[in-house]
Homo-oligomer: A and B are copies of this chain.
Amino acid sequence: MKSTPKAVNLTKDIPYVARSCHTNPSISCGDCRLGELCLPIALDASEILQLDEIVKRGRALNKGDFLYREGEEFKAIFAIRSGSFKTFKTTHEGVEQVTGLFLPGEIMGMDGIASNKHSGSAVALETGSFCEIPFHLLEALSAHIPSLQGRFFRLMGQEIVKDQQMLTLVSSNAAEERVASLLLSISKRNHRRKLSPSHFRLPMTRAEIGSYLGVTLETVSRIFSRLQKQNVVKVDNKEIQLLDIDALKLIAKVHND
């Protein structure tokens, strides 16, 4: 079940032991196995060392802990090391609107760059850990390392494309397509992280999934039931198995990749 440790103060107290990157808070960017997904792509060894200097290895977070809050001053971006996180905004009526799901190797917090205030909040969906990169230091370092500047431009560009895909998904597709697309998206991201693309835990509640996809939680539940009946997926609470990925792609109306 919980693969992440309860002990928290590993950071400086324990001697270096080669454990898997995402559970060991003291590992460096150069050794992190998420490096090829994360910020350091496109950097050479010496550049990674410089990046390492400004990265703060974060403490472990528990489910429900905030990484930052809507309206709070923007200070840093966050790279997920383990666990999963959601971002959301709270509407005028006090309803939570989920805007993103983040998995290890992905970067959060770029919503604060424009105005120096976070435009949404970020919380842990389960026990997890992260690296914190103070933005002013990242900016300064980027000005000295062109490939880091380029990498960060690209990272922000990715976020833009991702958000636009989400917009397209939500504004033009039926509920079933949205659910199928979300499952395929997680599958693909797991695959890149060398995890099973067909068996995973979906860390959000039905209500969160619904909010993210612009449908009600009941609709999400019904669609899971229906897809299960069709033998496309097997759903056991949050545990998801994709039994027929091609069928799922057909439902999601994805014809490529």
Within 8 A of B (CB), among A133-150: 139-140, 142-143, 146, 149-150
B157 touches A112 (CB 8 A): yes
Within 8 A of B (CB), among A70-101: 89, 91-93, 95, 97, 99
Instruction: Give the total of A residues in contact with B, Cβ under 8 Å.
Output: 48
B154 touches A113 (CB 8 A): yes
A160 touches B92 (CB 8 A): no
Question: Could you give, for residues 152-184 of chain A, a 1 whenever the CB lies within 8 Å of some chain B CB and a 0 otherwise?
Answer: 111111111101111110111000000000000
A255 touches B92 (CB 8 A): yes
Interface residue? A119 (CB, 8 A): yes
CA distance A140 to B147 in the complex (A): 10
A153 touches B154 (CB 8 A): no
A214 touches B172 (CB 8 A): yes
By a beta-carbon cutoff of 8 Å, the part of chain A in contact with chain B is 89, 91-93, 95, 97, 99, 110-115, 119-120, 139-140, 142-143, 146, 149-150, 152-161, 163-168, 170-172, 211-214, 253-255
